[in-house]
Structure 1
Amino acid sequence: MKAYRYLMAVPALAFAANAFAADPVIVETEAYRWAGDTIFQNEFKAWAVSPYELKSTYKGRPGYYMPVDQSWKRKNDLSSYPKLKSNNLLHEALYNMALDEMVNAVEPDTTLRTGKEWSGVWTRDVSYSIILSMAYMQPEASMISLMKKVNPSGQIIQDTGSGGAWPISTDRLVWALAAYEIYKVTGDRKWLEKVYPIALRSLEKDEKTVMSERGLVKGETSFIDWREQSHPKWMQTVDISQSEAMGTNVMYAATLRAVGEMAQVLGKKREADKLFAKSDALAANIDKTFWMPDKGYYGMYTYGRGSRILNPRAESLGEALAILYDIAPKEHQKSISENSPQTPFGAPVFYPQISDMPNYHNNALWPWVASYWTLAQAKAGNERGVLEGIGSVYRPAALFCTNKENLNLDNGDIFTELNSSNMLWCLAGNIALTTRVLFGIHFEKDGLVIEPFVPEVLAGKRTLEGFPYRGAKLDITVEGYGNSVKELIVNGKNIYPEKGKLIPAKMLKNGGDIIVRLDNQPIPEMKVNSVPNVKAPLTPVTWLANNPALDGEGVPVNNQLEWNPIEYIAKYIVLKDGEPVAETRETSYAAVTPGEWQVIGVSGSGVQSFASEPRSNRPTVIVEFPGETVRMKSAEVSYLPEAAIAGFTGAGFVETDRSSAPAEVTVDIPEEGVYSFSLRYANGNGPVNTENKAAVRTLTLDGNKAGTIVMPHRGRGNWNDWGMSNQIVLPLEKGRHTLGVRYLPEDENMNISTNHALLDHLRVEHVK
């Protein structure tokens, strides 16, 4: 039997001889080893005592707020859930521990609790958990939980998030993917009739507000909702609202197809065709925008201000979803599988890491993300990738005797900014490794597909007794190894290959006994991109200064781009309007022509820093609003300041809430060209990192809708903290134009009641 490893200078202490030394090695990396029923990491080990008990010798970082459990014993009655029989005791114990913690996660109101330390239902957490395994393990709780995340307008709720939730965070549509998964498991048409209009309304709202001019979804990377953890420090929440995240776009393309299939089942062919076409167009756009041929995988997100560039980091969930939902073309799926960076502890949330940021999303493995990545590796046919993926989830589950939220990639410990035991999506991912990989169970709208992926080192016979499917119970047995089915026996009759791998739902309405025999042939070898856990260089800090030698006709202009030196940098790349224009080892550059300027640092090994904050030396005009005041009066204001508002320009500001009249200004455009428009605003209705009161408005040009203005929170009660909204770029003819700021129905935010901001002035920049 094969055992996969990529050992690099392992300390002799790591895997010292012990009583378990004769056990077969299942997977081994530089960081840990799984042999037989035991996980080893340096001087620590964890092992299965029985199918219902684990023990560990692991000791966590001294002084960390969260203690480490060194044992697990079953606490709940698991007899109503599928029973696993495996030839590996550790596998059985970790599966049963996930079931045990799943029962803990069901609240008295039959909703699914996010984690031991995280109460309540969160849209993305519960949705990703449902897709992994809760749809079939907890269908009733899954339905109830999803319906808790629908607002009074009949739309999906975007949970509190950076700068005031939607439209800075825009991954709420994963709810629809989860809702459709429940239908495929249950076949409940009434459920489909209930959720389809909710999904459709939410899609239609987003189409009016969060689609970029390039046809991509704007907003934060799905689930990575702590802005400092995955973005350069200069990026404010308004900048994040305008970025285009690969993972969110992949999820969105998958959702469009899922909602199209809902329409198809409900007999709405015209609507289905439109949704399928939109999904295909978005998938093509994703591939065009994010694919990096030199790296062989997708970039993480686009970012900038007037111009966008691609952050070349790999992001594991987005890469995995691109494979699982066939958003990536077939030829790219194998490339993603083989080239996405994998650290000794497993799939990073993203790679490389941010060097001056603590561990949470940054420098971390989240086991549920690793589970999605493992499912994707199975679909791509990567045996080594599957083994290392399973190991990356089983290692922490065994050593910590619970399904933790996230792990530090430097040492595999739980020492991160926040953490939780009994984490819903992590236990759901643990279960999915058994059901969706080793048993290969996949749900379709009209039946069940069973395509196991069993690495040779895990060859043998395993059974799931009492697996729930559309009101019936199934006993499923998988024999052998490989990823090719030799026989598919349903209730005593082999239906493969004559009738294919899809078992019609009607064939299973009374339950059944299913035996899958694999062909016991080696899976074609594929590589894994095993890399050390690298941290990227620091982000340069840039500014524009006057260089008298470059002044025109004695007029000072900001024509010298300067930046701080970064240690251990091989070179700097200078960008103008998002395009490289020079490489240098100096810390200044002559920015002679008007534009938007940035700098990227590159290490000696070729790892790039984030691009610096954009600095513009384009011609700019400030236009004040008429009828300005210095006091707030709106009933929507949540946090009234004790002192008068300060920090505005001109005579004061204009207050805008849902019932306000449009705020309008006239602008004289001196010549035909392309101009950008942004608002200087204040929003003290909430903190920078959470809640849901982002102010959203429509910008009109001469009475016609021109774009959406986003004004996130800037701190609770911080009405003197003024910032810039996003930029809207428009071609304009010479002459006088009227710009308006108004509230339209599509501008309704997640709070619904409070959608309020102060407007200082309009900034007009001549782009070209």
Structure 2
Amino acid sequence: MLSAVLIAALAAGPAADGAWRTELRWHGQQARMQAQAGGRYLLSGPFGQRAVNAGAMRADTASPLFDGLFQMAQDDLAQDVVDAIRDPAYDHGRPIPCHCYVTGVKWPYVWTRDLSYSIDLGLWRLDPERARNGLRFKLSAARAPGAPGLYAMQDTGSGGSWPISTDRVVWFLGARHLLGDKGFAGATWRALRDTLAQERRYAFDAALGLYRGETSFLDWREQTYPAWTADNVAFIGQSFALSTNVLHYQALDLAAAQARARGDAGAAADYRAQADALKAAINARFWRADRGLYMSYLGGDGTPYDTYDLLGTALAVTSGLAEGERARQALANYPTWDAGSPVIWPERRDQPVYHNRAIWPFVSAYALRAARATDDPARIAHELRSIMRGAALAGSNMENYELESQAVHVDEGRLSGPVVNSPRQLWSVAAYIAAVTEGVFGLADDGRVEPKLPAALVPMLFGERKAIALDLPGRRIVLQRPERIDGDLLVADATATQGDTTTVTLKAIAAKAPPLRTGATLYAPDAPPAPVAQADGDGWRVQVDGKAVLYANGRRIGAVDGQAQLPKQAGLLCLSATRIDANGLESLHSPDTCVGAAANVGGAWPRAWKAPAGGRYRVAFDYANPHGPINTGITAAVKTLVASCDGAAPQRVPLVMPHSVGTQRSTWGTFAAKAGATCRFALEDGFNMSYLAHAVHYTGGKGGDKPLNEAELGDLVIAPLPARDTP
């Protein structure tokens, strides 16, 4: 039985409100669940009432609220099952046949990341063929000559899509669960090889050992990146994101396993080496020891940004990339609020609610999964309650919620939001299903039952019962509570299977996990303007706006008050500045100010240039890409610059020219040259999403009727890199 001390502690906690058995109250609002005949439920709340139909799965606990919300998730999912999809940007909004899942009420289409995360959260179990159909819809062969292969698709996005965004490899996170079908497994293997090869060619940075590209899912740049990226996304294409790199690591890990299973020892060893090297680079580059957290993204030269995201953190833990004490720290140090955990931290004071100041249930489900991996009962309970509360008060599994109120919308003038919020959002539906099947009952991918149930949830789930149960098609899982609960986490003590029933007797252990981190500063300070640098004798006089922290070429120089003097050095000097608030929290960076000798090389192709000194050089284009708006499209221009320097082997440098506002600077790459060498530059065509055969459906902009991979090219801008920045 529960000890008197534990009962008192539980009664004082967030679950004390009737133990959340039939109702919950929050900020003056109430949700109540009533069981009806035939496995149906009636949910009442601020939205009115919703009759909930019975589903194929059933939870049997002491909480009709918990059980009924599980039925509601299945009811939502049934409405996300379709035979055709549509979006205004595809086939002029006409229906496209697809026996698959749609993303939600306001997103009646199939998007690569939404579907893949939803499948990974457990939808692969419920209707494997429909899940495969959706994933097949997001594969495409190329329609351009010279680019054979099968590829996962990057959806429309910042600057004209891939490779500004490169998280299309999330496709393999979902596909890995569905390889029992031989035809689908074969297509997955082909797409895995071809997609990874393309990512390696165009998005991998050998110097840092990381893949470039936007944060996964956090794809509304003004919400999460510096404000100056609103009209210039080349920085995002140059930068490195934690979540996207972890997804590449998982794809490489899958490739190694698949190659080994297919008897290709050489390919398996190569993929394994790439995965291990990437894991080491992520842990070396993204870990911020003073915060005990993984940074969300880095600048293109490795500049650290004092910003964090929950999905990247959770994926680092669940993938095994973060291990041991570092995994526990990363999750424990990520802040929480009473309503749940924000998807980014710190928040942006000048942005409306969407990714900013928001809870997203699917990310909460990944945080719950990470909490299970680190035996953190407080975090498991916190994320589960957040997922439950949001669904109960909204009457559906919504896309997102405001962070502090967990409301589906708050009115704050231009900062109101969430700006978009869809009912029965697919990955939110998957999140609730995962919270029950995996989070409470411990159902693992391989069918084992490994519960890790916080003692704090016992009053809600067990009440006076000795056991709770989960009924799945063809299987029943029963959890039996221990006689005494003298720890904070219930785990398996004994497991027995008879027929289709698995019974787990639980025991209590002391997890010794840290408490939730509460009371963190909500907002980051505002970023300062770009530094101003002027030549001053043998150095540079650098002026900043007030007190700031100065960075040069990716490295922290230190605190500056108004002005600093830096020595001149051979090579490019790129400066940025941040502010630090009274709590030690750092702002995002200002735009860069780059000074130093640079050559502009124009004219007809091939272009020629003579190296004034030996070493490595940074190269980029001045360009304009008018083929689409900054925030969407499929026509980011991608070219390979081939540098041939006096008999040396040609060096290939991929450069990306996203949709632009007027003339801008492309992403940059590096090449080496000896002193006095004449380098001749030629261009090779690259690849973008308009080259995929599936792009023929895209009618929302250019690149659908035929491939389009062009930009108006100005000068090549070549600048020497300092010796210490040479790899």
TM over 0.5: yes
Greater shift, 295-304 or 682-691, is seen at 295-304
Which letter maps to 1:44?
Q
Aligned counterpart for 2:618 among listed residues 668, 676, 686 = 676
Cα contact 2:156–2:632 (8 A) shared by 1: yes
Matching of residue 600 in structure 1 with residue 578 in structure 2: yes
Cα contact 2:377–2:454 (8 A) shared by 1: yes
Aligned counterpart for 2:651 among listed residues 702, 705, 714 = 705
Note closer, same or farther for the CA distance 1:320–1:666 as it changes in structure 2 (3 Å cut): same
In the alignment, which residue of structure 2 is the partner of 1:84? 59
Which letter maps to 1:262?
Q
The CA deviation string for residues 29-66 of structure 1, in whole angstroms up to 9 with x for no partner, is 99x996333222121111212264354443xxxxxxxx
Aligned counterpart for 2:181 among listed residues 165, 188, 191 = 188
Partners of 2:270 and 2:594 lie apart in 1 by 41
Cα contact 2:614–2:675 (8 A) shared by 1: yes
Greater shift, 133-142 or 253-262, is seen at 253-262
Cα contact 1:442–1:450 (8 A) shared by 2: yes
Higher helix share: 2
Matching of residue 346 in structure 1 with residue 334 in structure 2: no
Partners of 1:529 and 1:141 lie apart in 2 by 40
Note closer, same or farther for the CA distance 1:530–1:350 as it changes in structure 2 (3 Å cut): same
In the alignment, which residue of structure 2 is the partner of 1:479? 480
In the alignment, which residue of structure 2 is the partner of 1:576? 552
Partners of 1:354 and 1:102 lie apart in 2 by 33
TM-score, normalised with respect to structure 2: 0.85
Cα contact 2:496–2:503 (8 A) shared by 1: yes
Q: How many correspondences in the alignment?
A: 653
Deviation at 1:740?
Answer: 1.9
The CA deviation string for residues 360-410 of structure 1, in whole angstroms up to 9 with x for no partner, is 111111111011101110111011111111011111111111111111113
Partners of 2:297 and 2:329 lie apart in 1 by 19
Cα contact 1:34–1:391 (8 A) shared by 2: no
Aligned to 1:700, the other structure's residue is in SS state strand
Deviation at 1:709?
Answer: 0.5
Matching of residue 732 in structure 1 with residue 670 in structure 2: no
Note closer, same or farther for the CA distance 1:342–1:617 as it changes in structure 2 (3 Å cut): same
Deviation at 1:532?
Answer: 4.0
Matching of residue 426 in structure 1 with residue 428 in structure 2: yes
Structure 1 residues 539-618: aligned runs within 5 Å:
539-544=527-532, 546=534, 550-551=536-537, 559-565=540-546, 571-584=547-560, 586-593=561-568, 595-618=573-596
Unpaired runs of 5+ residues, structure 2, are: 84-97, 143-149, 410-417, 483-488, 696-705, 723-727
Deviation at 1:522?
Answer: 4.5
Note closer, same or farther for the CA distance 1:135–1:414 as it changes in structure 2 (3 Å cut): same
Cα contact 1:698–1:747 (8 A) shared by 2: no
In the alignment, which residue of structure 1 is the partner of 2:600? 622
Deviation at 1:519?
Answer: 1.9
In the alignment, which residue of structure 1 is the partner of 2:444? 442
Deviation at 1:539?
Answer: 0.8
Partners of 1:314 and 1:331 lie apart in 2 by 18
Which letter maps to 2:491?
S
Cα contact 1:542–1:561 (8 A) shared by 2: no
Note closer, same or farther for the CA distance 1:136–1:395 as it changes in structure 2 (3 Å cut): same
Which letter maps to 1:583?
A
Aligned counterpart for 2:23 among listed residues 30, 38, 44 = 38
Partners of 1:579 and 1:618 lie apart in 2 by 17
In the alignment, which residue of structure 2 is the partner of 1:107? 82
Which letter maps to 1:114?
T
Cα contact 1:34–1:40 (8 A) shared by 2: no
In the alignment, which residue of structure 2 is the partner of 1:535? 523
In the alignment, which residue of structure 2 is the partner of 1:640? none
Paired-residue identity, %? 27
Unpaired runs of 5+ residues, structure 1, are: 6-21, 59-68, 468-472, 493-511, 566-570, 627-662, 716-720
In the alignment, which residue of structure 2 is the partner of 1:66? none
Q: What is the RMSD computed on CA atoms of the aligned residues?
A: 2.7
Partners of 1:160 and 1:515 lie apart in 2 by 47
Note closer, same or farther for the CA distance 1:729–1:268 as it changes in structure 2 (3 Å cut): closer
The CA deviation string for residues 127-170 of structure 1, in whole angstroms up to 9 with x for no partner, is 00000021011212100000000112321101111001110111
Cα contact 2:20–2:65 (8 A) shared by 1: no
Cα contact 1:3–1:457 (8 A) shared by 2: no
Partners of 1:85 and 1:167 lie apart in 2 by 47
Deviation at 1:674?
Answer: 2.8
In the alignment, which residue of structure 2 is the partner of 1:499? none
Note closer, same or farther for the CA distance 1:418–1:697 as it changes in structure 2 (3 Å cut): same
Which letter maps to 2:327?
Q
Deviation at 1:749?
Answer: 5.2
Partners of 1:29 and 1:296 lie apart in 2 by 29
Structure 1 residues 90-101: aligned runs within 5 Å:
90-101=65-76
Deviation at 1:264?
Answer: 3.5
The CA deviation string for residues 107-132 of structure 1, in whole angstroms up to 9 with x for no partner, is 12321100110011000000000000
Deviation at 1:27?
Answer: 4.9
The CA deviation string for residues 672-704 of structure 1, in whole angstroms up to 9 with x for no partner, is 233211101111111111111111000111172
Aligned counterpart for 1:514 among listed residues 485, 502, 507 = 502
Structure 1 residues 234-253: aligned runs within 5 Å:
234-235=228-229, 236-253=232-249
Deviation at 1:705?
Answer: 3.2
Cα contact 1:222–1:247 (8 A) shared by 2: yes
Cα contact 1:396–1:404 (8 A) shared by 2: yes
Cα contact 2:601–2:717 (8 A) shared by 1: yes
Which letter maps to 2:31?
A
Deviation at 1:260?
Answer: 2.5
In the alignment, which residue of structure 2 is the partner of 1:10? none
Cα contact 2:635–2:659 (8 A) shared by 1: yes
In the alignment, which residue of structure 2 is the partner of 1:132? 121
Aligned to 2:139, the other structure's residue is in SS state coil
In the alignment, which residue of structure 2 is the partner of 1:147? 136
In the alignment, which residue of structure 2 is the partner of 1:763? 717
Note closer, same or farther for the CA distance 1:698–1:94 as it changes in structure 2 (3 Å cut): same
In the alignment, which residue of structure 1 is the partner of 2:472? 466
In the alignment, which residue of structure 1 is the partner of 2:95? none
Deviation at 1:710?
Answer: 0.3
Which letter maps to 1:70?
G
Cα contact 2:214–2:239 (8 A) shared by 1: yes
Partners of 1:37 and 1:3 lie apart in 2 by 24
The CA deviation string for residues 55-104 of structure 1, in whole angstroms up to 9 with x for no partner, is 4443xxxxxxxxxx3322125x62xx222211211110111110000000
Matching of residue 400 in structure 1 with residue 394 in structure 2: yes
The CA deviation string for residues 718-740 of structure 1, in whole angstroms up to 9 with x for no partner, is xxx11111121223212221122
Deviation at 1:670?
Answer: 1.8
Cα contact 1:693–1:749 (8 A) shared by 2: no
Deviation at 1:242?
Answer: 1.1
Deviation at 1:706?
Answer: 2.8
Cα contact 1:370–1:389 (8 A) shared by 2: yes
The CA deviation string for residues 541-596 of structure 1, in whole angstroms up to 9 with x for no partner, is 1242547xx357xxxx9x4433445xxxxx42112222222313x33333552521
Which letter maps to 1:329?
E
Partners of 1:243 and 1:749 lie apart in 2 by 24
Aligned counterpart for 1:696 among listed residues 626, 629, 638 = 638
Which letter maps to 1:697?
K
Partners of 1:84 and 1:296 lie apart in 2 by 38
Aligned to 1:574, the other structure's residue is in SS state strand
Aligned counterpart for 2:170 among listed residues 170, 174, 179 = 174
TM-score, normalised with respect to structure 1: 0.81
Which letter maps to 1:83?
R
Cα contact 2:58–2:67 (8 A) shared by 1: no
